[in-house]
Amino acid sequence: MNVIHLSAECYPVAKVGGLGDVVSALPKYQQLAGIYASVVMPYYDRKFVQENEFDVILESEFVMAGITLPFQVLKEKTDKLGFALHLIKIPGLLDRPEIYSYPDETEQFVAFQLAFLEWLTYFSIRPDVIHCHDHHTGLVPFLIKHSTRYNQFADIPTVLTIHNAQYQGWIGWEKFNYLPDVEPDKTGLLEWNDCINPLATAVKNCWAYTAVSPTYLKELTWNSNGLEPLFQAEQGKGLGIINGIDTEVWNPETDPMIRVNFSVETVATQKKENKKLITEEFGLKADKPLIAFIGRLVGEKGADLLPKAITEILTAYKDQVNILILGSGEHHIEDELSGLKDTFSGQYSVFIGYNEALSHRIYAGADFLVMPSRVEPCGLNQLYSLRYGTIPIVRSTGGLKDTVIDHSQPDGYGICFLNADVEDIYSAFYRAIELYQNTERVNLLRKRMMQLDYSWHQSASQYIELYNSLKK
């Protein structure tokens, strides 16, 4: 079995969020499960690429919008990530530092997909499965079936994993000429609501799609940013597979990014040490509960609700609780969260930006991690928290619903709430402050959650079963 993962992100090469984590861990664990899995992603001018050695394995060209574009395929020499990593380099489009947000993002990702398909024409042995992740790779399942140049590969099964259906990669029809010639009666398969919609295209044309949690799979049929009727129609080929975590990278016993390593046996004492250090770093109080938020500061994550919820709880429980935020995103949310620093100095702090090492220190040092998400297809933060003995406070939606059980339930360990609103977040904060007073219970919950198994082993096998079911 030979599967190629196509993705815009893969940690540590390039990561903005959970997509990057998944596309580095899933192939690694699939390799461990005995199949050949590799990753193909765009070339980015970033640290990992600069610091590692690559072989150029192909130089060729393809045509986009009537223009011939040269490209290279590079392969990392040592498979150090646990799988073969390939980068596609296209001067001016796929050789820049950022992953997203260029004005020519459409050109960037269409070109990535066309170069990949062109590369496929050079393969001596065809892959058994092409596994596409999110809309950036969503045209491949269509082009491989219905473009006259690449439909020679129509019998290769394609799988789409939907990490987030909020983003769909919409392309105006005026850019239809970016695509190679397609069978004229099939152009409707590209369309959703008057534009080319790469995510919808992928759902229509893939052999099977997965959502990153069983609950999210269901939610897509009634909450998927306009694609609800499509998911209702296509649900027969959908499957919910919960994400795992890379337990080598996210292991409090060995994590080189945290200052005091700990295990389930030593969590009660050693976590306190990590908390002491992180509270010192941010001028907070080590003897009070520490609630953290890590993530993209966007509406999807409920981040816009935080400034008010934080203001209310820190006013009502002055000096009784600390809150620490790490994130970046919409500027007005960044500004509001930064603005609270002076008002609540000594019990609140915020780091605006992306900082991988700091995120590890916070998972290790915080008592609680809040995720008031409006939409959360899976969520990895709560899984990292569980592993680091940090009690998750989550809105029960998507993958959060599938992975966090309220501690009032038998075998529960988290704090769950129903609505993404200030009132529910406030009540959840209150429950956290109350719970923190009971040290014995907190320690029991920490041990309980640190022993949960959210490693990739099981989910990686579920994907392999899916691939096998698609083989003719």
Residue 265 tokens read as: 């046996």
Which of ligand ADP, ligand GLC, none does residue 212 bind (CB under 5 to 8 Å by kind)?
ligand GLC
Query: From residue 178, how far is each of 73, 109, 113 by CA, in Å?
Result: 21, 11, 11
Does residue 17 bind ligand GLC (CB under 6 A)? yes
Q: Give least dist CB 388 to ligand ADP, A.
A: 11
Which of ligand ADP, ligand GLC, none does residue 349 bind (CB under 5 to 8 Å by kind)?
none
Between residues 69 and 297, which has the closer beta carbon with respect to ligand ADP? 297
Binding residues among 214-243 for ligand GLC as defined by CB under 6 A: 243
Does residue 378 bind ligand GLC (CB under 6 A)? yes
Does residue 108 bind ligand GLC (CB under 6 A)? no
Helix (H) or strand (E) holding 59, with range, is strand 54-64
Between residues 157 and 377, which has the closer beta carbon with respect to ligand GLC? 377
Q: Quick one: which of 22, 26, 220, 416 contacts ligand GLC (CB under 6 A)?
A: 22
Q: Give least dist CB 415 to ligand ADP, A.
A: 17
Which of ligand GLC, ligand ADP, none does residue 355 bind (CB under 5 to 8 Å by kind)?
ligand ADP
Tell me the residue nearest to ligand GLC as measured from the CB.
Answer: 18
The contact set with ligand ADP (CB under 6 A) reads: 17-19, 21, 294-296, 326-328, 354-356, 359, 378-381
Half-sphere exposure in the Cβ direction for 263 (13 Å, CA): 3
Beta bridge partners of 369: 292, 392
SS3 label, residue 102: coil
Q: Quick one: which of 252, 377, 392, 414 contacts ligand GLC (CB under 6 A)?
A: 377
Site string for ligand GLC, 401-440 (x = CB under 6 A): ----------------------------------------
Q: Give least dist CB 43 to ligand ADP, A.
A: 22
The torsion angles phi and psi of 356, rounded to 5 degrees, stand at -60, -45
The torsion angles phi and psi of 420, rounded to 5 degrees, stand at -85, 75
CA dihedral 314→317→318→323, nearest 10 degrees, is: -40
Q: Give least dist CB 235 to ligand GLC, A.
A: 19
Which of ligand ADP, ligand GLC, none does residue 307 bind (CB under 5 to 8 Å by kind)?
none
Scored b (16 or more CB within 10 A) or e, 407-416 reads: beeeeebbbb
Cis bond upstream, residue 12 (ω within 30) = yes
Between residues 205 and 397, which has the closer beta carbon with respect to ligand GLC? 397
Between residues 216 and 262, which has the closer beta carbon with respect to ligand GLC? 216
Between residues 17 and 226, which has the closer beta carbon with respect to ligand ADP? 17
What's the CA gap between 185 and 281, in Å, rounded? 62
What's the CA gap between 282 and 303, in Å, rounded? 20
Which of ligand ADP, ligand GLC, none does residue 295 bind (CB under 5 to 8 Å by kind)?
ligand ADP
Handedness of CA 220, 15, 251, 459 (dihedral sign): positive
Which of ligand GLC, ligand ADP, none does residue 326 bind (CB under 5 to 8 Å by kind)?
ligand ADP
**Residues in contact with 280: Cβ distance below 8 Å, sequence separation at least 6, in sequence order:** 286
Q: Quick one: which of 31, 113, 164, 215 contacts ligand GLC (CB under 6 A)?
A: 164
Does residue 138 bind ligand GLC (CB under 6 A)? no
SS3 label, residue 35: coil
Helix (H) or strand (E) holding 396, with range, is none
Tell me the residue nearest to ligand ADP as measured from the CB.
Answer: 18
**Is 146 within 8 Å of 184 (Cβ atoms)?**
no
Query: From residue 9, how far is each of 33, 71, 99 by CA, in Å?
Result: 22, 19, 8
Residues near ligand GLC, by CB under 6 A? 17-19, 22, 163-164, 212, 243, 376-380, 399
